[in-house]
Structure 1
Amino acid sequence: MSERPTVHVDGTTLSPQEVMMVAKQQAIVAVSEDAWPAIHAARAVVERIVNTGETVYGINTGFGALVHERISSDDLAALQLNLIRSHATALGELMRVEAVRAMMLIRLNSLCKGHSGIHPDCIRQLALYLNHGIHPAIPRIGSLGASGDLAPLSHLALALIGEGEVLVDDVPVPTEQVLFDKGLIAVELTAKDGLSLINGTSQMTAYATIAQQELSELLLLADLILAVSMDARSCSLTPSRPEIHLARAHSGQMVVAERLRSILADSEILNQHRDCERVQDAYSFRCAPQVHGAVYESFKRLEGVIRIELNSATDNPLIFPEPDNPGAHEVVSQGNFHGEIIALTCDAMSLAAFELGSISERRMDQMLDPARSGLPPFLAKNSGLESGLMIVQYVAGSSLSEMHGKTTPRSAFSTTTSAG
């Protein structure tokens, strides 16, 4: 078996493809040497604040609505432990290992950007767990999105400190036992470490990345299936002529039209029907570049958002070191943990995917109906004696119903939490 490649984590260059390699355990991870200076510089700010006794949110105060509660230096480690333990309240089915690993890598990469002020030992622990196949047991439900993924990430952090559970052959096992078996030790938290670990968009970005990578293959297959369907229905390629799409120059429809011309360039069936009496094909064929193209543009938007989010600092507060002008201003409270851009983009992609499924089912209907296709009913070899693909369309309709239910925008929901 060949040695697995290494994904070098530096906070700026992580790609969706690399996330999937690590998620599927096809690569190991290493923190890039280029990342350490920024990590150490941000950490130095935290340690200076602790040593001088300045009062700064996220370092020596309470959290959220308890921001005005000052915490003594002797209690800072306990503050981080209590934060993780109290926030690890997620519920529901456990996340799959693939999603957990993606989430761990994304959190690691965000911390390596050098604005979190986390202790380097926590970064090393995340990389160690990934490379040793230690996967926290994380219930899926608990993130509001607007406050990052606090509850799910707290379950991840629990495992890093030797508490909670990890998955062994998909079965939750006490973390302490697994660490003992592997000869490893838990990480000890210091000031700000817990908050840096649990405040961010790592779970939602993990799920979005997995979906985006699966869609990258499915959208190509959708265009190929479209082309085969056009062949089966003896459709015209005229609606895919380049000048038509230059007249309405949306990039997506131009890409899809070009694909259709390329795939069907040597089609004997379409060439034989070039001069047939049919004036126009059904919308589901004739307008396919416009529909598939719009879906493709939603996909490209999703891809762009994910590439930025993968390499973003999303916890709060963030640290921007100024060694020549030190002070509390180096620690900035802000809202990068808010997942709105991921939610809106994924909602749009979910609706687009439904449209793709819907138009595909309509083409199926065109091919299975003998009155419109001129083909045997339901494409059966012996109609009546067998049902052909009749029930395939039933299942397609059922799938559309499932997809329709998932088009309800999750970003439209809001609720009041944390004392307003």
Structure 2
Amino acid sequence: MPQHTRRGNDDFKFDLAAPAGWSYAPGDTIIGNLMRKTPIVTPDATIVFSFEGRSEVKITQPSRNISRNTSRNTSVYRDNWPICKSQPFTVHKGPLHLAPGSDEVLSWPFSLNIPLKPMATGPGSNIDPRRTFLPRDTSHPAHQTLPGSFAAASKSFMSDRESLDFVEYYLTAHLRYMHGGSYQTCEAIYPISIRQSMPSVHRLGVPVTVTSQRLISSQRLLPGMENAGLSFKQHAQRFFGSSKVPQFSCTFRLTVPVSIQLDDPTPLQVQLEIMPNLERSSDAIKDTAQNIAVLRLQVVLRSQTADRALSSAFGIEHSNSFDQTDRRDFPFSPPLVITTGKKSEPLHLGNQLQLILTSHGLQCGSQRTRQTPGPHPSFIYPDIITHNIRHTHTMDWRIDVKIAGETETERFSTRVHIIGPA
């Protein structure tokens, strides 16, 4: 079943006391009215409404039994998991009368509290723990917090496999009334956007530091040789690894966040240090401070979605996974400089760039950063885990530096937990 879209007209519709595009948090109260403007005269009418949430997966993949006369033969596997479902609420039962030409509107007010957490998914439920993304520990936040609205889709041109995953919430209402000796029914649907809640016990955590060792060989490491041209002999010595060529050993230390809250105006904690390893460096340059130019920082936020669905016929599990990337380049002009030595200080790249993560991607100050080509999400969702969908994130970091006239590139990859806006 596809995602629900808004449905309603003068015959029957929802009118919520919230601006267009409003999103609710778990525990909020939805307030509104059910309305009818079309004339009606009936001795018997019933109006009921309810609130539902579900996690839906649709996996399309090539069928194994492909006929020679068939250009495309696919199998579709679906999994629909209820997240929450209210009991039907009756807001009217009895006769209705709205005369033709009347300026009046029939209206039935209602209010409904959004639940704080999903329906029970613990040992008493029918979930096979081997076929669910939900942790077995029922105290895990995935069992205790309502997942936010979510949508992701992917198509692999190599395998012809497609995925469509979403988490949705919606109000439905039915007006059933007697007309001309039979009952007629009008339906109204109103999708509800739910923000991912942040558990009160959650903390953003201590940033993590990742390291990488680098060994640079060049005559330009020597004092006074920083910008010197090298002779053919010097190039040959460097190429063949001659012991006459000075070597500089250093450690790249990149400190990055382990958790990021969307739309937080505080710059991301991204800090770069380059520490010399004197024990592994040549004696001729141990007392020489090296100037290292930071040319560019590239950040890739990789959104990773995994899904699963069971074959209704044989109970066979089908799964898929796909990535979407938000790739941003930050060239530094002029380059930032790190000078090794006793007075060396780290570069606070996050503060330097005023780098933040919004629901629409990485931003540098008030401007959205330049995005490199490639598949990317139009919206950044927080991490979520449901029975059939798992959405997580990693960040890839690339740093281009220039040491002794040579351009070097360091790459790091870290897991990051994306939290919903406050």
- Superposition TM-score tier, normalisation by shorter sequence: under 0.3
Answer with 1 or 2: which has the greater Rg: 2
Structure number with the higher helix fraction is 1
The two structures have a TM-score, normalised by structure 1, of 0.19
**Larger proportion of strand:** 2
